[in-house]
């Protein structure tokens, strides 16, 4: 018997067309899950094709998680194939720059609509068959910025803090109905969203040096945590947040000068 086997599960991954979502889709497929890749970008079809090319099972549907009709349509496609999601990974998210004195209300609302309300929308739509069956697991990708404010990034940190509480509330309300809800909070991960930052070797090196693990994370690092929390191995874990940051957020005591204790 393998330690984690998701071969009897259908797993929906939002924003599965690139970056962390792609890594999660590949990670779930590697332990046997049938993966439904959702993305507003057609690149999601390449990820589904990659999984099938590796001998796995995957489908792609264009889906904008900020839109009720689009999410409902994707759920209908899954149902029409006689499938039901047992796992949902809420991952699609982004950020826009802006200090709190300057960010436009439009940008503020756009970020909350995608990063927070989109997560609730998908939890409700894809969680419905889980609640009916009395079994399911939801994993939300938040961020270390849920706990530490990321300046000049508009609503980003607020949205991620909201995701952590959304997950806890889902755990409380849906736990008795058989559905677990947990968060994975990535630290610094190189993806298309952050690639521009890491292209400057000096920035890459300065960031790497801040991390006790002495490397920038990869989507597979996040995928491993998500796969665990989605699996039966985590059947008694719900309402939790797992930080995956190479130790970065544990370094604050290290910045205090303390002669004799270097």
Catalytic positions are 156
Does residue 150 interact with ligand NAD by CB under 6 A?
A: no
Residue 160 CB, nearest approach to ligand NAD (Å):
7
* # residues contacting ligand NAD (CB under 6 A): 28
Nearer to ligand NAD, 133 or 250 (CB): 250
**Closer to ligand NAD at the Cβ: 94 or 262?**
94
For the bound state, the minimum distance from the C-beta of residue 78 to ligand NAD, rounded and expressed in Å, comes to 15
Among 17, 56, 86, 154, the residue binding ligand NAD under the rule CB under 6 A is 17
CB under 8 Å to 213, separation ≥6 — which residues?
A: 246, 247
Q: Does 121 participate in binding ligand NAD (rule CB under 6 A)?
A: no
**Should residue 14 be labelled a site residue for ligand NAD when binding is judged by CB under 6 A?**
yes
Identify the residue whose tokens are 């209908």. 76
**CA dihedral in degrees (155, 156, 162, 163; nearest 10)?**
150
150 CB-near residues (< 8 Å, 6+ apart):
143, 156, 157
193 lies in the binding site for ligand NAD (CB under 6 A) = yes
User: Interface with ligand NAD by CB under 6 A: which range of 104-112, 186-194, 227-235, 254-262?
Assistant: 186-194
For ligand NAD, the binding residue among 6, 10, 59, 64 (CB under 6 A) is: 64
The footprint of ligand NAD on residues 220-259 (CB under 6 A) is none
DSSP 249: G
63, 39 contact by CB (below 8 A): yes
Q: Is 137 helix (H, G, I), strand (E, B) or coil?
A: strand
- Asked if 180 touches ligand NAD (CB under 6 A), the answer is no
Q: Specify the residue, 30 or 67, whose C-beta has the smaller distance to ligand NAD.
A: 67
CB-based burial label for 110 (10 Å; 0-12, 13-18, 19+): middle
Measured CA to CA, the distance from residue 262 to residue 228 in angstroms comes to 36
* Binding span for ligand NAD by CB under 6 A among 130-138, 181-189, 199-207, 249-257: 181-189
CA-nearest of 187, 226, 224 to 208 is 187
DSSP 8-state secondary structure symbol assigned to residue 189? B
Q: Which residues pair with 13 in a beta bridge?
A: 37, 89
Q: Kindly provide the residue ranges of all beta strands, DSSP E only, lying in the chain, ordered along the sequence.
A: 10-14, 34-39, 57-62, 87-90, 136-141, 179-186, 241-244
Nearest CB to ligand NAD, comparing residues 7 and 94: 94
If the CB atoms of residues 15 and 56 are measured against ligand NAD, the closer one turns out to be: 15
**Which segment (76-84, 92-100, 170-178, 235-243) binds ligand NAD by CB under 6 A?**
92-100
Least distance in angstroms from the C-beta of 47 to ligand NAD? 9
Which two tokens mark 258?
């303390």
Could you give phi then psi for residue 124, rounded to 5 degrees?
A: -70, -45
Name the residues that contact ligand NAD, by CB under 6 A.
14-15, 17-21, 39-41, 63-66, 91-94, 114, 141, 143, 186, 188-189, 191-194
């Amino acid at each position: 018997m393998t330690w984690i086997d998701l071969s009897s599960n259908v797993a929906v991954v939002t924003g599965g067309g690139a970056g962390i979502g792609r890594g999660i889709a590949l990670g779930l497929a590697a332990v046997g899950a049938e993966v439904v890749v959702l993305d507003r970008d057609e690149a999601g079809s390449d990820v589904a094709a990659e999984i099938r090319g590796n001998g796995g099972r995957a489908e792609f549907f264009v889906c904008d998680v900020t839109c009720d009709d689009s999410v409902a349509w994707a759920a209908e496609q899954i149902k029409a194939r006689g499938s039901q999601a047992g796992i949902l990974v809420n991952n699609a998210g982004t950020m826009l720059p802006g200090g709190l004195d300057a960010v436009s209300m439009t940008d503020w609302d756009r970020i909350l609509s995608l990063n927070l309300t989109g997560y609730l929308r998908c939890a409700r739509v894809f969680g419905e068959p889980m609640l009916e069956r009395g079994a399911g697991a939801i994993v939300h990708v938040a961020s270390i910025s849920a706990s530490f404010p990321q300046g000049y990034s508009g609503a980003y940190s607020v949205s991620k803090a909201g995701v952590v509480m959304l997950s806890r509330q889902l755990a409380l309300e849906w736990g008795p109905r058989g559905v677990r809800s947990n968060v994975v909070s990535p630290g610094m991960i190189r993806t298309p969203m952050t690639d521009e930052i890491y292209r400057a070797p000096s920035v890459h090196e300065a960031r790497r040096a801040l991390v006790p693990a002495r490397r920038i994370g990869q989507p597979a690092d996040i995928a491993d945590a998500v796969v665990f929390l989605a699996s039966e191995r985590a059947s008694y874990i719900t309402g939790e947040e797992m930080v995956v940051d190479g130790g970065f957020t544990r370094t604050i005591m290290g910045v205090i000068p303390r002669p004799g204790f270097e």
